[in-house]
Amino acid sequence: MKTGKIISITVTIVIIALILLFAGFIALNFFGPQKETAQTQQGSSSRSASVVRVTPVSLGTIERSVIINGEILARNQVTIYPTTAGRIVELRYRIGNRVNSGDVVAVVDPSRPGDVYAHNPVTSTVSGTVLNVPLNIGDMVTTQSGIYVIGDLSSLLVETHVPERFVASVTPGMRAVLWFEAIGGETFNAEVFEINPVLDPSSRTLRIRLRFLTPDPRIRAGMYATISLVTSRRINVPVIQRTSSINTYGSWIVFVVDENNIARRREVVLGIDNEEYMEILSGVNLGENVVSAGASFLSDGDRVRVIE
């Protein structure tokens, strides 16, 4: 009888112990993960701030330009022609020689077989430097044959051709920056002073000429120049770095960081732009900090950590 009671009590104790163990297991699985999840979320929240770099909206000058090529020419360049047809018997000047207006530069013999005529002098109509002598003694010429090309090297110009899509932007006085392969590491300023009123129908380009704002003796006629022609220019306007803007479904947006380090999405209207900057017409104010690096990974309301 006692043995049966002992067994019954033992079974009861075991059952109670199992119930308590099971209850403890349930509590551990129910409350433990919640606490861990809360801690994880808290830690995740502290680590979720995106690292960005910001740049304040400021006033600046922005230019849009087109890169084209051009050739350096003597500003006053004239071809000298003979007044009669015949054979060249004398060339008195070489390339690089200085010539004055009225000087005899060549002599042409207009004689024909059986006839003898006096030699005919060819005189220069301008003063300058001999740039080209395309013919030789003994060559036959007509009144349409250029014997000399003479130019004034004291005043050089740049001749280039602008593609049709930029023609409407070209105006007299438009500024340009030039550089030469022969003069590395330096740039030179020029401005447009002559615009051809008609486009070349074969190339669909417009011929323009520029003059140097500051002459340099190292620049010579015949040199090949690379030209950055400023087609539009805005002075003292709000600008942001080009990397700040994001195009979404045809609209431009930026992210502005407020005083609480929260990124706020703004839709902006842009003006002209170049490789580095964009003009801001509306959407942000002067002095606001715009995200210039890291904007692609942001959403409105994200917490950010600003680095220098």
Residues sharing a CB contact under 8 Å with residue 181, sequence separation 6 or more, in sequence order: 224, 226
- Provide the edge-to-edge strand list for the sheet that holds 104-109: 120-123, 104-109, 86-91, 140-141
Mean pLDDT of 21-46: 51
CATH fold, domain 50-61+236-306, is 2.40.420
Look at residue 36 in the predicted model and tell me its pLDDT. 43
Q: Which of 69, 97, 112 is nearest to 153 (CA)?
A: 97
Give pLDDT tens digits for 195-226.
Answer: 999 999 999 999 999 999 988 888 988 899 99
Tokens of 234: 């805005």
User: pLDDT band at residue 232, thresholds of 50, 70 and 90?
Assistant: confident
Residue 290 has pLDDT above 90, yes or no: yes
Report how far residue 61's alpha carbon sits from residue 166's, in angstroms, rounded to the nearest whole number: 21
Give pLDDT tens digits for 68-84.
Answer: 999 998 888 899 999 99
The mean pLDDT of the chain is 86
Look at residue 43 in the predicted model and tell me its pLDDT. 43
Mean pLDDT of 276-296: 91
Q: How far is CA 30 from CA 23, 36, 37, 133, in A?
A: 10, 11, 11, 101
Look at residue 140 in the predicted model and tell me its pLDDT. 95
**For domain 77-151, which architecture applies?**
Beta Barrel (2.40)
Residue 30 has pLDDT above 60, yes or no: no
Q: Is 38 helix (H, G, I), strand (E, B) or coil?
A: helix
Give pLDDT tens digits for 112-162.
Answer: 888 888 999 999 999 989 989 999 999 999 999 999 999 888 889 999 999
Q: Which of 50, 90, 39 is nearest to 307 (CA)?
A: 50
DSSP symbol at 49: P
Tokens of 218: 């190292």
User: pLDDT band at residue 185, thresholds of 50, 70 and 90?
Assistant: confident
Q: Which of 143, 84, 91 is nearest to 115 (CA)?
A: 84
Q: Which of 35, 94, 113, 54 is nearest to 293 (CA)?
A: 54
Mean pLDDT of 221-238: 89
**Residue scoring higher pLDDT (35 or 81):** 81
Look at residue 50 in the predicted model and tell me its pLDDT. 87
Report how far residue 204's alpha carbon sits from residue 294's, in angstroms, rounded to the nearest whole number: 43
**Range of weakest confidence among 51-60, 97-106, 187-196, 228-237:** 228-237
Q: What is the pTM of this model?
A: 0.56
Tell me what percent of the residues of the chain surpass a pLDDT of 70. Answer: 85
Tell me what percent of the residues of the chain surpass a pLDDT of 90. Answer: 58
Residue 44 has pLDDT above 60, yes or no: no
Q: Does CATH place domain 66-73+153-234 in 2.40.30.170?
A: yes
The domain locations on the chain are 1-47, 50-61+236-306, 66-73+153-234, 77-151
Provide the pairing of β-strand 304-306 with 50-56.
parallel
Q: Which of 236, 239, 246, 227 is nearest to 66 (CA)?
A: 227
Contact 122, 80 (CB under 8 A): yes
User: pLDDT band at residue 8, thresholds of 50, 70 and 90?
Assistant: low
Residue 305 has pLDDT above 60, yes or no: yes
